[in-house]
Each structure stands twice: as C-alpha cells, then as structure tokens.
Amino acid sequence: MPLFLRSLVLVCLAVCAAGSSAVVQKPAEGAFDQSHRVWTEVLAAHVKGDRFDYKELQANRAKLDQYLGALQSVTRDEFERWTKEQRYAFWINAYNAYTIHLIVKSYPLDSIKDLGGLFKSVWDKPFIPLGHLFPDAPKKELTLNNIEHDVLRPKFVDARVHAAINCASRGCPPLRNEAFVAEKLDAQLDGQVRAWLADTNRNRFDQTKSKAQVSEIFSWFKEDFVRDAGSVREWLARYAPEDQGKWIREAGKELDVSYLDYSWKLNDVERPKR
C-alpha cells in the first residue's frame, strides 16, 4: 500500500476510535415537559387581571393545541413514574386547558353553561382524550366532572384545588397567569387561595358586623373545607388576609357566614361597546 494511503488509513482509524468512545446522549423521546412551559406562555399572554382573552386566543391557538397534544402524548407508564405533585399539577393544568379549549372552540358565547344540553350539563360532556391515564374511567374520553370529582378531589384530598381550577365564569377564582408545577405547587396553591380570599369581588369580610360573605364554592364543597380544617370558618381564618384571619378565628361560631350569588357569565375580557 502506498505510504500516503497507509497514513490516511491510520488517521481515519484514530479518528473513528476517538469518536466511538464518546456516547451521544439523546433527549428521551416523548418525555413530558414538567415545567408546562407552553401552557405558561398561553396563560401569560391571555390572562388579563381576573379575565381571559378568548377572542385573541381563538385567532391564534397554535400554542394551546401544542400543549393539548403534549398532554395527550403522555403514556400510562410514564405517568405512573411521576411524583404525586407532578400528577396533581398535570390534572389541574389539564382541567383549565381543556375548559379554555372548549370555550375557544365555540366562542363567542355568554356562558359556559350554554354549551350544555337539555339532559346533560357541559361538565358531563366527554371530550377530553386522557382516559388512558385514569384506569377507572368508564370511557376513553373524560369529562370535566371526571377530572374534578373522580381524580382531583378524591386522589389529592386538598380543598385548595377549588381556588386553582377555573370554570370560565366570573364567579370562579381567577385563572393563574402561569402553569402549576410540581416543584412549587404548595406555594402556588397557597398564593392562589390567599389571592382569592383577598378579592372583595368574590369574598368579603366585615369585622364590625362579624360577617363573612363568601363564594358559593364554600357551600357546594363544604365537606372538603371541613375535612381539611375542621370547619369552613377555620379554613377561612387559615388563608384569609392576616388582619382578617385573626378575628375570624376569634369570632368562632359567632361569625355569620353567607354566600354571594355565583356569576356564570363568561370571564371574558371587557371590550368597548360599539
């Protein structure tokens, strides 16, 4: 073999040997993004105070569709390897994302209730293709009620969830402008509850009259708040603004608790009337 060819072969062998010792790490295909980054981008762009801009999202829903696709791509095996906090954040975000998807698909409308039928409410409508992650589901497509009442409430046993999920209505606790994520889930839930109770459009406390006018959510899901704190009053005292919480606790059974009328009007942004 000519000398120059022999040299070339030796160089090639050396390069190949060096390359074979390096292992190229590829990202795991299909691994779910636990930061829920795309969902945060959707929320940050469209949550406006305590309202949501459905019209703007309807005009460009590519990121919402991308996020829904990511939710649907999670396999049962992958899901079962997650921590409890990762699963909890996943289901809260899924509930909110699919609620918004439902509204955007039919927008404009006055209320989410308009999407229900004569014999079945909108919350009993099967349209969420995540049944493979919930083996007890009767069908492959879940309903919003399945996520709330068959997954979130019984499996995570945390009344704070009622401040985290949003039913696209003005009576609901407002949507958070970021995704819920496992590593800061406790802080996010606490912050969401405290902001909800400090919102005088949804909860009002009058120390001079020893009176609390609170969301009907506290009546509908009373058992959840009693389970977590012993009573609705104690739960309110635990999360209400500090100056309110002290006298609520001191008032005890003397505190007069009543419920504000719940608004099912769509939590759409206000637009100038023409």
Q: Are 272 and 226 in contact (CB under 8 A)?
A: no
Of residues 8 and 173, the one with the higher pLDDT is 173
Q: Token pair of 42, please?
A: 């959707």
The residues pairing with 169 across neighbouring beta strands, listed in sequence order, are 266
pLDDT at 140: 84
pLDDT at 119: 84
**Cβ atoms < 10 Å from Cβ of 197:** 25
Binned at pLDDT 50, 70 and 90, residue 23 comes out as very low
pLDDT at 16: 40
Q: Are 160 and 190 in contact (CB under 8 A)?
A: yes
At 118-176, the pLDDT tens digits run 889 999 999 999 999 987 765 689 999 999 999 999 999 999 999 999 999 999 999 99
At 232-270, the pLDDT tens digits run 999 999 999 988 999 999 988 889 999 999 999 999 999
pLDDT at 151: 96
**Three-class DSSP category at 190:** helix
Region for residue 49 given its phi and psi (left: phi exceeds 0; alpha: psi -120 to 50; beta: otherwise): left
pTM above 0.75, yes or no: yes
Q: Token pair of 218, please?
A: 């506290």
At 75-102, the pLDDT tens digits run 999 999 999 999 999 999 999 999 999 9
pLDDT at 271: 85
The yes-or-no verdict on residue 65 having pLDDT over 80 is yes
At 209-223, the pLDDT tens digits run 999 999 999 999 999
Q: Token pair of 14, please?
A: 């050396």
Binned at pLDDT 50, 70 and 90, residue 29 comes out as low
Lowest-pLDDT choice from 14-23, 146-155, 188-197, 220-229: 14-23
The residues pairing with 205 across neighbouring beta strands, listed in sequence order, are 212
Q: Are 161 and 152 in contact (CB under 8 A)?
A: yes
Establish whether the linkage from the previous residue to 174 is cis, with ω within 30° of 0.
no
How many whole angstroms separate alpha carbon 84 and alpha carbon 152?
11
The yes-or-no verdict on residue 10 having pLDDT over 50 is no
CA angle 190–196–201, rounded 5-degree value: 170
Alpha carbon 102 to chain centroid distance? Answer: 15
Binned at pLDDT 50, 70 and 90, residue 7 comes out as very low
